[in-house]
């Protein structure tokens, strides 16, 4: 199979299906990270655990039959932290308050030194490419998330406009690094999009104006991406998933989607399975596609598995959801994904599952069901 997957699935009579990104890290890896911070093991020992987790992820992904795989973000402390150099920022402001009451922090710059990426997601792709000939995708942090790092008080000699220019340049280079390393598709995580519209978010930065600024930043990044990559750059939206809890599930998609589709991405990954009415989500998406008209018709990968729940969806349930969605979204634009990353932060106890290791088993079972269910739906919709 070609490592440059593109959108060949539709040409071969299959709806596209792909993961969002993160997977629960093994409990052993989580313990090793904490042990290294405590000085109980050295960096070399920790790297061995990272390598083992990535290899296990790739092997188990291949076993699901997935046409495209990822490393599950096993090496990342969080979906948003990998570009930030140590010592340049401090976690000092609440990013999100989750439904179970816990919160996560967003780093804030503490230096006027110009921001630049400390590492690029392409390095993760390079490593996975050594382990498999299957096509690979990668998830990257959004410029919107990084924009929250600039302190409200400002920085001497370094304006917010200059910072945003640096974020845009770094974000574009990050995406390009993934394709240069051999990725077939790349998506931008945009969980902060829905959170921005949550009136009960309890965070200072939220609001419609913030969302509009986020979308402008994303489009400026996309403008900086070479044209040949643009169809394969997606944007993912969900209400968050951390410790099996979300931060903005009560925000109505009817408010978000008209804004979301102003982003000129090649495709969108949209949570649906965990929503109260997945058919309504598909209907709302279909309405937005009609509003866009024929000039730009992005592909839509609907979420058909719920990562916050240990309940296993069956292949038949997934196929049924996709067939129903095709009443609103043309089959040639439809595909499937997971609602959200299964574990966007490295240290995650997965309380509804009972343990990270069991949650990891559940995640791969859900992925296998998604692949099988999408194949069933493909037979119905594409013949």
Q: Ramachandran region of residue 202, left (φ > 0), alpha (ψ -120 to 50) or beta?
A: left
What is the reported pLDDT for 92? 76
Whether residue 56 has pLDDT greater than 50: yes
56 domain-assigned: yes
Instruction: Report which of residues 146 and 13 the model is more confident about.
Output: 146
Whether residue 3 has pLDDT greater than 60: no
282 domain-assigned: yes
106 domain-assigned: yes
* Burial state string for 85-115 with b = 16 or more CB within 10 A and e = fewer than 16: eeebbeeebebbbbbeeeebebbbbeeeeeb
3 domain-assigned: no
Cα 131 to Cα 134: distance, rounded to the nearest angstrom: 9
298 domain-assigned: yes
Cα 219 to Cα 122: distance, rounded to the nearest angstrom: 21
What is the reported pLDDT for 93? 81
Range of the domain at 197: 8-382
2 domain-assigned: no
Any idea what the CATH number is for the domain that residue 324 is in?
3.20.20.210
**Region 74-103 average pLDDT:** 88
Centre a 10 Å sphere on the Cβ of residue 241 and count the other Cβ atoms it contains.
28
User: Which percentage of the chain shows pLDDT scores above 70?
Assistant: 97
- pTM higher than 0.85 for the full model? yes
What is the reported pLDDT for 35? 94
What does the pLDDT look like over 252-273, one tens digit per residue?
999 999 999 999 999 999 999 9
What is the reported pLDDT for 94? 86
- Taking a C-beta distance cutoff of 8 angstroms, is the pair 346, 78 a contact? yes
Whether residue 5 has pLDDT greater than 90: no
173 domain-assigned: yes
| From 55-59, 169-173, 195-199, 324-328, the region with the lowest mean pLDDT | 195-199
What is the reported pLDDT for 10? 62
How high does pLDDT run on average in the chain? 93
Whether residue 339 has pLDDT greater than 80: yes
What is the reported pLDDT for 2? 38
Whether residue 1 has pLDDT greater than 60: no
What does the pLDDT look like over 223-257, one tens digit per residue?
999 999 999 999 999 999 999 999 999 999 999 99
What is the reported pLDDT for 249? 93
What does the pLDDT look like over 185-215, one tens digit per residue?
999 999 999 999 988 778 888 899 999 999 9
What is the reported pLDDT for 75? 94
Task: Please give the tally of structural domains in the chain.
Answer: 1
Q: What is the CA radius of gyration of the chain?
A: 20
What is the reported pLDDT for 7? 62
Whether residue 90 has pLDDT greater than 90: no
Residue 129 corresponds to which tokens in the numbers above?
Answer: 């490419």
What does the pLDDT look like over 286-322, one tens digit per residue?
999 999 987 789 999 999 999 999 999 999 999 999 9
- Taking a C-beta distance cutoff of 8 angstroms, is the pair 341, 233 a contact? no
């Amino acid at each position: 199979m070609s490592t440059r997957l593109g959108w060949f699935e539709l040409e071969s009579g299959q709806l596209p299906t792909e993961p969002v990104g993160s997977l629960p890290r093994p409990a052993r890896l989580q313990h090793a990270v904490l042990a290294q911070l405590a000085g109980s093991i050295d960096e070399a020992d920790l790297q061995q655990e990272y390598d083992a987790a990535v290899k296990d992820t790739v092997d188990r992904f291949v076993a699901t039959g997935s046409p495209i795989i990822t490393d599950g973000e096993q090496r990342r402390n969080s979906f948003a932290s990998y570009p930030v150099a140590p010592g340049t920022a401090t976690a000092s402001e609440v990013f999100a308050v989750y439904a179970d009451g816990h919160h996560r922090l967003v780093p804030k710059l503490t230096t006027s030194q110009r921001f630049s990426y400390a590492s690029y997601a392409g390095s993760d792709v390079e490593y996975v490419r050594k382990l498999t000939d299957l096509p690979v995708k990668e998830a990257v942090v959004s410029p919107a998330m990084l924009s929250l790092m600039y302190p409200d008080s400002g920085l001497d000699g370094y304006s917010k406009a200059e910072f945003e220019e640096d974020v845009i340049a770094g974000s574009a280079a990050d995406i390009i690094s993934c394709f240069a390393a051999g990725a077939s598709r790349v998506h931008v995580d945009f969980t902060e999009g829905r959170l921005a519209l949550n009136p009960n978010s309890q965070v200072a930065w939220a609001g419609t104006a913030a969302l509009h600024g986020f979308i402008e930043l994303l489009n400026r990044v996309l403008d900086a991406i070479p044209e040949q990559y643009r169809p394969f750059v997606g944007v993912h939206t969900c209400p968050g998933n951390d410790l099996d809890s979300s931060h903005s599930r009560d925000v109505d998609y009817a408010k978000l989607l008209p804004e979301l589709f102003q982003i000129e991405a090649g495709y969108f990954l949209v949570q649906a399975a965990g929503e109260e009415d997945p058919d309504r989500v598909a209907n709302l998406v279909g309405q937005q596609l009609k509003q866009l008209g024929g000039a730009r018709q992005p592909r839509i990968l609907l979420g058909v598995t719920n990562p916050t729940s240990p309940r296993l969806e069956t292949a038949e349930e997934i196929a049924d959801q996709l067939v129903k969605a095709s009443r609103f979204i043309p089959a040639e634009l439809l595909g499937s994904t997971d609602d959200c990353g299964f574990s966007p932060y490295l240290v995650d106890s997965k309380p509804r599952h009972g343990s990270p290791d069991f949650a990891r088993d559940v995640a791969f079972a859900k992925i296998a069901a998604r692949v099988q269910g999408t194949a069933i739906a493909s037979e119905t919709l594409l013949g």
